[in-house]
Every structure is written in C-alpha cells, then in structure tokens.
C-alpha cells in the first residue's frame, strides 16, 4: 500500500490517504487539494512534491 500525508506538503493539514498504488493517491489528493486548499491545477512541481512524500506502507 502507498500512503501520503497531505501535511507533508501543506503544513497543518491533517488529511492522509492510503491506497494500493500511487495512481490511487493522486485520485484522492487532487479533489482534496481542490476542496480543502483551493488548488485547481496540479502543476508538475506539485505532483513531484506529492510523489516525493508518498511512502510504502
């Protein structure tokens, strides 16, 4: 399983996601970023930052 804690990229956010693969992480993080943080576009830099903080669990 893969795990991503949003707080690793957005300090203070308590949301965390655990999915079978990296693709699943993005499928949850993108709508979360839009709803919780007003991020309407996932830039390559943001995607890289998220990817850098995805951990194997």
Instruction: Report the interface residues with Zn ion, using CB under 5 A.
Output: 6, 10, 13, 15, 36
Question: Residue 1 or residue 36: which is nearer to Zn ion going by CB?
Answer: 36
Using the Cα atoms of residue 3, residue 17, residue 30 and residue 45 in order, give the sign of their dihedral. Answer: negative
Nearest approach in angstroms of CB 29 to Zn ion is 8
Nearest approach in angstroms of CB 44 to Zn ion is 19
Pairwise CA distance, residues 25 & 2, whole Å: 7
Half-sphere exposure of 11 (CA within 13 A, CB side): 0
Question: Residue 21 or residue 37: which is nearer to Zn ion going by CB?
Answer: 37
């Amino acid at each position: 399983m893969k795990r991503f804690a949003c707080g690793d990229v957005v300090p203070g956010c308590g949301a965390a996601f655990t999915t079978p693969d990296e693709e699943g992480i993005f499928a949850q993080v993108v709508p979360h970023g839009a709803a919780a943080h007003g991020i309407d576009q996932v830039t390559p830099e943001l995607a890289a930052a998220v990817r850098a903080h995805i951990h194997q669990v």
